Amino acid sequence: MNKTFLLATAAMLAISFSTMAQYVDRTSFKAGLNAGLPVGDAGDASSFSLGLDLAYHIGASELLDVGFATGFIHAFGDTTSLSGGAVTVEYEDFQFLPVAGSLRIYPTYDFKLGADVGYAVGFNELNEGGFYLRPIIGYNITGNTELNVSYVNISNDWSFSIATLGILFLF
C-alpha cells in the first residue's frame, strides 16, 4: 500500500513539474555518483556505501529550484564480533531506491543548500525501506559539475544513516 501510494505521488509530481517547466526558463537534469560511510547503528552493520544520484530540477525563481530525485544506494555489509569475539555476526548488503521531492536554495551562484524528502524502497530481504531524508550542501566546481556533501537518513522502526561525498553532472 505504501509503495503504491509513493509511486502514484511520484508520478503526480513528475507530471506537475513537467507542466511547470513550460513557464520556467531554467530546468536541469542531474546525474552523479556518491560514496559514503555509514554512521550510527548503520556503521555496525555496514562498512561503506556507493550510490547513483538522478534528479530533475525546475527553476521556480532565481534563488530556488524544485524537482524530484531518485537513484540507488548500495551499502556493503560488514562483519562484527560480539561478546569479546565469541560470536561473529555477518550482515548482508543493504540496497535502497529513494523516490523524493527535491528543493535547492542558492545563496550564491556557486553554493547551494537543499534537501530531498520522500521514501526509500528497500530491495534486499527483510529491508522494507522507510522515510527518506537527505540534507545536502553543494558547490559548483564548473558550470556543469557540482561537488556535494550530504547526510542520508532512512528510518522506519530503525534508522540507517550515511555521510556521503558526491559529484553531480548537470545536463
Domain containing residue 70: 2-170
The half-sphere exposure of 58 on its side-chain side, counting CA atoms within 13 A, is 16
User: What is the model's pLDDT at position 92?
Assistant: 92
For the record, the C-alpha cell of 33 comes out as 555518483
**Beta carbons of 148 and 115 less than 8 angstroms apart:** no
> At 119, is the pLDDT very low, low, confident or very high (cuts 50, 70, 90)?
very high
| pLDDT at 122 exceeding the cut of 50 | yes
Other residues' Cβ atoms within 10 Å of the Cβ of residue 9: 15
Query: What's the whole-number average pLDDT of the chain?
Result: 88
**How is residue 85 annotated by DSSP?**
G
pLDDT, one tens digit per residue, over 39-97 is: 998 998 999 999 999 999 999 998 999 999 999 999 999 988 777 778 888 999 999 99
| pLDDT at 3 exceeding the cut of 70 | no
What average pLDDT does range 113-120 have in this prediction? 98
User: What is the model's pLDDT at position 12?
Assistant: 56
For residue 129, which phi and psi values (nearest 5 degrees)? 80, -160
Give me the CATH number covering residue 63.
2.40.160.20
Q: Which residue has the higher pLDDT, 2 or 133?
A: 133
Query: How many domains does the structure of the chain reveal?
Result: 1
Nearest-angstrom CA–CA distance, 65 and 81:
46
User: What is the model's pLDDT at position 23?
Assistant: 44
Q: Quote the percentage of the chain above a pLDDT of 70.
A: 85
| pLDDT at 16 exceeding the cut of 60 | no
User: What is the model's pLDDT at position 22?
Assistant: 45
**Cβ contacts of residue 150 below 8 Å, gap of 6+?**
34, 134, 135, 136, 137, 163, 164, 166
What average pLDDT does range 96-124 have in this prediction? 96
For the record, the C-alpha cell of 36 comes out as 559514503
